[in-house]
Amino acid sequence: MSDSNGSARGASSRRGAPPPDISELVRVEDRISFLYFEHCKVNRSDNAITVTDEEGTIYVPSARLSVLMLGPGATVTHDAMTVIGESGASVIWVGERGVRMYAFGSPLTHSSALLQRQAKLVSNTRSRLAVARRMYAMRFPGEDVSGLTMQQLRGREGARIRKVYKECSEKTGVFWDKRTYNPDDFDEGTEINQALSAAHACMYGLAHAAIVAMGCSPGLGFVHTGHERSFVYDVADLYKAEISIPVAFETVAEFPVDVGAETRRKMRDAVYSLEIMPRMVGDIKSLLLETEDAECVDPSIDHVGLWDEKVGEVPAGKSYREG
């Protein structure tokens, strides 16, 4: 049924449970990274979700969940989606064992401060380049990339990734040729390409969950552009060489019966042991905010103002009239 352990029975679903308050929700960096289920039905019991198949039922507290991955044969009720949305978790429907991804999420914040900052930075060529350079600098510690163009940075990143593939291949004994895959047919690719697709899908899901939970836009990327998940790809790329690529090679080296399932299990363990979710949150803040502003985004602030072209903002909730 799933890549998780444990089971529980009883306690029928009860509709109408009050939604959790923002201040009561678990921070994204402290949540369960992701759970994967297939050939099951996902429902609701109070503020938990239930996952049922022929083996029984397990209960998952929605407020502690970051990403729920639903594979083939999984169905989900309206009640379940309601509580998941209220809890700020992301749901990802993955087809063909993880190649395609469809995501949903609600922010764990009422504040739009990070979103406004992101939009401001990405809308200016100079500030966008500065953020992109910081992203590449995270991959090349100790190197000064402040004067490199995007073309130069892409070239250096390409060489780095080729080196990572080569080193992982030599370490595990898994043959490596090139990255090729068919998004419409998971089984068409080699086992290592299947494993890479499954591992990267997990990484995209985690990045998407962190971005949405913090109130940022998945589509406003700095390195990637033109796609609804451009920023997701930006953030996920920061960790692929450290996590998803090595996990894929290590998985294939063990000759698993089901490459996709085993890759997801190993990704789950790696994400937990390397504390990736807290790092993602910290990295996103450091990329978008000045150091002195990093702690000034309070997710519990429920503030709405009216924009003014002269003073920036005026209070909402009052009547304005001329004269």
Q: Same domain for 132 and 177?
A: yes
- Between 107 and 178, where is the model more confident? 178
In this prediction, residue 307 has a pLDDT band, given cuts at 50, 70 and 90, of confident
Q: Same domain for 141 and 222?
A: yes
Domain that holds residue 119: 113-292
On whether residue 45 sits in a domain, the answer given is: yes
**Structure token pair of residue 235:** 């953030």
Q: Same domain for 128 and 100?
A: no
157 is in an annotated binding site: yes
**Comparing C-alpha atoms, which of 306, 226, 299 is closest to residue 27?**
299
On whether residue 304 sits in a domain, the answer given is: no
What kind and span of H or E run contains 306?
strand 305-308
**Comparing C-alpha atoms, which of 91, 23, 29 is closest to residue 60?**
91
Domain boundary among 77, 104, 131: 104
**Structure token pair of residue 211:** 């971005």
237 is in an annotated binding site: yes
On whether residue 2 sits in a domain, the answer given is: no
- Between 2 and 36, where is the model more confident? 36
Domain boundary among 51, 83, 104: 104
Residue-wise over 80-107: b if at least 16 C-beta within 10 A, else e? bbebbbbbbbbbbbbebbbbebebebeb
Q: Same domain for 137 and 259?
A: yes
On whether residue 29 sits in a domain, the answer given is: yes
Q: Same domain for 78 and 212?
A: no
Total count of domains within the chain: 2
Q: Same domain for 122 and 236?
A: yes
Q: Same domain for 118 and 203?
A: yes
CATH of the domain at 41: 3.100.10.20
Residue-wise over 117-153: b if at least 16 C-beta within 10 A, else e? bbeebbeeeeebbebbbbbbbebeeeeebeebeeeeb
User: Do residues 92 and 205 make contact, with C-beta atoms less than 8 angstroms apart?
Assistant: yes
pLDDT digits (tens, 9 = 90+) for 116-169: 999 999 999 999 999 999 999 999 888 899 899 999 999 999 999 999 999 999
Q: Same domain for 139 and 262?
A: yes
On whether residue 318 sits in a domain, the answer given is: no
**Comparing C-alpha atoms, which of 287, 298, 277, 293 is closest to residue 112?**
298
Report the C-alpha gap between 214 and 109 in whole angstroms: 6
Q: Same domain for 185 and 211?
A: yes
Report the C-alpha gap between 236 and 240 in whole angstroms: 7
- Please say if the pLDDT value at position 1 is more than 70: no
Q: What whole-number percentage of the chain has pLDDT above 70?
A: 80
Q: Same domain for 40 and 135?
A: no
Q: Which amino acid is at 255?
A: F
pLDDT digits (tens, 9 = 90+) for 60-73: 887 788 788 888 88
Pairing relationship of beta strands 312-315 and 32-37 according to DSSP bridges: unpaired
**Structure token pair of residue 47:** 């503020």
CB atoms within 10 A of CB 304: 10
Arithmetic mean of pLDDT, 16-44: 68
On whether residue 99 sits in a domain, the answer given is: yes
**Comparing C-alpha atoms, which of 25, 33, 36, 30 is closest to residue 3?**
36
On whether residue 312 sits in a domain, the answer given is: no
Please tell me the predicted confidence (pLDDT) of residue 71.
83
In this prediction, residue 316 has a pLDDT band, given cuts at 50, 70 and 90, of confident
Q: Same domain for 161 and 195?
A: yes
